[in-house]
Amino acid sequence: MTRNVLVIGLGLIGGSLALALQKSPETKVIGYDISEKTRELAEALNVVHEVAEDVEEAAKKADFIFFGTPVNATLEWMDQLKQWQLKKNVIISDTGSTKGLIMKKAEELREQRITFIGGHPMAGSHKSGIAAAKPYLFENAYYILTPFDDEDGNNIIALQQLLKFTLAKIVKIKAEEHDHMTAVVSHFPHIVAASLVHQLHEENKKFPMTSMLAAGGFRDITRIASSNPMIWRDITLQNRNELVGQLDAWIDEMHRVKKILLENDDKTIEAYFQKAKEVRDALPISTGAFYTTYDLYVDIPDYPGVISEITGYLAEEKISITNIRVVETREDVFGILVISFQNEKDREKAMKCIRSHTNFEMHVS
Ligand SMILES: NC(=O)C1=CN([C@@H]2O[C@H](COP(=O)(O)OP(=O)(O)OC[C@H]3O[C@@H](n4cnc5c(N)ncnc54)[C@H](O)[C@@H]3O)[C@@H](O)[C@H]2O)C=CC1
Ligand SMILES: O=C(O)C(=O)Cc1ccc(O)cc1
């Protein structure tokens, strides 16, 4: 029997989820987005099997409903659906970056015997919109669920069985703990990234060459400042308390750094960076704690067409890549081509393929 999955909000995350869930057998994925352009694209790009023009009608027939909307819009939808005639066993979930207020709102649904299990795939990027959606976006990433403590286990299992088509690693966490931890590793870093960009903007007025000198390090640390401001407005508003806590801790830390600088003691300064390096190097990033990529570093010579030559070899063998970039300490100089793959197998196939055509040196991170 075909089951109906409705995804409301078809941007980067909702679109990627819809694409992943299409891999589930006997499942019809129906989508809705407030933007007409996105609805048109959803159809044109086959992100869903069908676009719903009347979302309430689609919700009535749904076995699962997911929200891929900004978190404040999710709260509004949750209020609305209290008035709808839903299927008795429908399971509702979301993908929002915050969980506290959403699970609070879910208590109201629960009073009406509507099942809601909070969800948050810990993968994504600074990109937004349906055009950036990818079926494998969540592969190997953690996918957090925040069910009520006494949620019926069968409902959690049913949701997990559907979500396994994302190929993500599903974990269960309490909503409050979720909001604390994501403030540390995701939400607060966004504020830091934005503040560094604001600082550059001010400095650039006095020294207009500054932004031209912004090399790899500045770009790496501020990449997320290019994210969708509306998404981050809502996250910041919903996780305000945790963010104020993180900000206080950061201000204390900056006072500590200032003291170290004023003391002008080389050993303490080196120890500060040494400790940070040790903690950073030990992060389980490459084993899938957060955003797993399988990077291949190729030392390329500087001749025209070398990148398309390499991607051409990979395309011939149908090896798909998820990202490609050139890195160097100076960004205007050719050097190392970094190609990212979805998994280890693809990276190995790519190494073999490039080796069979070239003598370029390669290494993995
Ligand atoms: N961007 C990221 O890397 C991640 C985002 N998230 C969460 O996923 C959710 C979606 O974020 P993205 O896909 O990145 O944003 P996005 O901007 O790519 O997509 C949001 C989509 O929701 C639609 N939308 C906005 N208001 C709506 C409403 N009231 N009703 C229906 N559709 C509406 C927009 O038209 C857009 O297509 C957010 O709750 C965010 O916190 C979770 C993990 C990662
Ligand atoms: O691009 C990045 O590094 C991100 O920060 C992606 C991201 C954004 C929001 C989330 O709730 C989870 C992951």
Query: Which CATH code fits 178-286?
Result: 1.10.3660.10
Asked whether 28 and 2 are in contact (CB, 8 A), the reply is: yes
Tell me if the domain spanning 294-364 has CATH number 3.40.50.11810.
no
- Ligand 2 centroid distance, CA of 287 (Å): 17
Domain boundaries for CATH 1.10.3660.10 within the chain: 178-286
Spatial strand order in the sheet of 64-67: 50-51, 27-32, 3-8, 64-67, 91-94, 115-121, 142-146, 169-172
Among the bound ligands, name the one nearest to the CA of residue 179. 2
Using alpha carbons, select from 309, 323, 318 the residue that is nearest to residue 349.
Answer: 318
Using alpha carbons, select from 25, 71, 121 the residue that is nearest to residue 235.
Answer: 71
SS3 of residue 65 by DSSP? strand
Asked whether 46 and 70 are in contact (CB, 8 A), the reply is: no
Residue with CA at minimum distance from ligand 1 atom 25:
69
- Ligand 2 centroid distance, CA of 98 (Å): 12
Give the angle 158-163-168 at the CA atoms, nearest 5°: 140
- 325's enclosing H/E stretch is strand 321-327
The pTM for the full model equals: 0.85
pLDDT computed for residue 292 by the predictor: 57
Using alpha carbons, select from 140, 144, 145, 142 the residue that is nearest to residue 156.
Answer: 145
Burial label for 332, CB within 10 Å (0-12, 13-18, 19+), is exposed
- For residue 300 and ligand 1, the question of a CB distance below 6 A is answered with no
Q: Which atom of ligand 1 is nearest to the CA of 38?
A: 37
Using alpha carbons, select from 107, 89, 58 the residue that is nearest to residue 157.
Answer: 89
pLDDT computed for residue 330 by the predictor: 43
Q: Which residues pair with 326 in a beta bridge?
A: 337
Biggest distance spanned by C-alpha atoms of the chain? 71
- How far lies 280's CA from each of 222, 246, 273, 283, in Å? 17, 19, 10, 5
- For residue 110 and ligand 2, the question of a CB distance below 6 A is answered with no
- For residue 141 and ligand 1, the question of a CB distance below 6 A is answered with no
- For residue 222 and ligand 2, the question of a CB distance below 6 A is answered with no
- For residue 33 and ligand 1, the question of a CB distance below 6 A is answered with yes
Burial label for 234, CB within 10 Å (0-12, 13-18, 19+), is buried
pLDDT computed for residue 290 by the predictor: 43
Is the torsion defined by CA of 275, 276, 277, 280 positive or negative? positive
Cα distance between the two ends of the chain: 46
- For residue 98 and ligand 2, the question of a CB distance below 6 A is answered with no
Residue with CA at minimum distance from ligand 2 atom 2:
125
pLDDT computed for residue 334 by the predictor: 57
SS3 of residue 44 by DSSP? helix
Asked whether 17 and 124 are in contact (CB, 8 A), the reply is: no
d(CA 111, CA 107): 6
- Ligand 1 centroid distance, CA of 109 (Å): 22
Burial label for 182, CB within 10 Å (0-12, 13-18, 19+), is buried
- Ligand 1 centroid distance, CA of 230 (Å): 9
Instruction: Count CB atoms within 10 A of the CB of residue 107.
Output: 10
Say which CATH superfamily domain 3-173 falls into. NAD(P)-binding Rossmann-like Domain (3.40.50.720)
- Ligand 2 centroid distance, CA of 182 (Å): 10
d(CA 75, CA 41): 25
For the chain, residues with pLDDT lower than 50 are 286-291, 329-333
- For residue 128 and ligand 1, the question of a CB distance below 6 A is answered with yes
Domain boundaries for CATH 3.40.50.720 within the chain: 3-173
The conformation of residue 113, written as its DSSP 8-state character, comes to T
